[in-house]
Amino acid sequence: MDQLTSSNHAIGILDSGVGGLTVVKEVFRQLPQETVVYFGDTRRCPYGPRSTEEVRQFTLEIVHFLMRFPLKALVIACNTATAAALELIREQVDIPVLGVIEPGARAAIKASKNGRIGVIGTQGTIQSAAYEKTLKRIHPDLYVVSHACPALVPLVESGVGPTEQAYRIVETSLAPMKGQDVDSLILGCTHYPLIADLIGKVMGEQVTLISSAEETARELSVVLNHKRLLAESKQPAGQFTHQFFTSGEPEGFRRIAERWLGMPIKVEQAELEPVVTTGVPGV
């Protein structure tokens, strides 16, 4: 680790859009003294239908942008990007890098009573089989059923509320999960907790919804504590504060973010620069 890393430095969090705000909210709850720099790539969202190579490139570009700030840890708060680029990014930077797949898998195993776990996510996440591989590595006897729900990320990014039309979209997306007798359902995209009420209504109260956000924030706390990088106190007013960036239209992002986080924020639009693998600061 870079010897200049300080406990007063920020935590970088990235996502393909607004979904990673679910992780931000949990970091705010569990680690209230920490400062966050967030980037949501809403202009190129969703990542799910894109190739692995594209997702890796986009993730590198966001990391390159975030590493301009004084960071002490980085969270890839996007399941698709975690599956495609986590190990690559860990090779590129000299601060801890966390993904959201392994924390979500552990939480699902802990919650399941019958050993039957469902996973919903983007095409990219489901095609990677990242959750199934992680779940089976931890508990080989699990029954795991996975299903891609490509309509859900655009639904969340649109900012629509819990309307009848939204319910029908969720119901249609989850139809293959009905009758699978799963008792735990991994929300394998950080966008999905933003419509958890609709998902829960469709699946029924007998199914526990698993969001990786809580477990990811807990793991972040453990990592920072182990490396003695937990912030000792909130930053004084006028010093480093939370910052939110998006590649897309900032006003729509701000509305969704403020509704989810329950606090006013400022969102800036930022341009990302093309980078090559060796172009990320901190190698």
The binding site comprises 15-16, 47-48, 79-80, 190-191
Taking residue 164's Cβ as centre, other Cβ atoms within 10 Å add up to 7
Q: In angstroms, rounded to a whole number, what is the distance separating the alpha carbons of residues 68 and 105?
A: 32
Helices 79-92, 101-111: crossing angle, 10 deg rounding = 130
Q: b/e for 100-110, b at 16 or more Cβ within 10 A?
A: bbbbbbbbbbe
45 is catalytic: no
Mark whether 189 is an active-site residue.
Answer: yes
* CA–CA separation, 277 and 90 (whole Å): 12
Catalytic pick from 66, 75, 189, 267? 189
Catalytic, out of 24, 27, 74, 78: 78
**Distance separating alpha carbons of residues 273 and 62, to the nearest angstrom:** 9
- Taking CA atoms, 190 is separated from 21, 101, 164, 210, 251, in Å, by 8, 10, 22, 11, 20
Per DSSP, 272 falls in state P
Binding residue numbers for substrate? 15-16, 47-48, 79-80, 190-191
Q: How far apart are CA 189 and CA 121, in angstroms?
A: 5
Q: Which two tokens stand for residue 102?
A: 């392994």
Please tell me the distance from the alpha carbon of residue 40 to that of residue 197, in angstroms, as a whole number: 23
- The residues carrying an active-site annotation are 78, 189
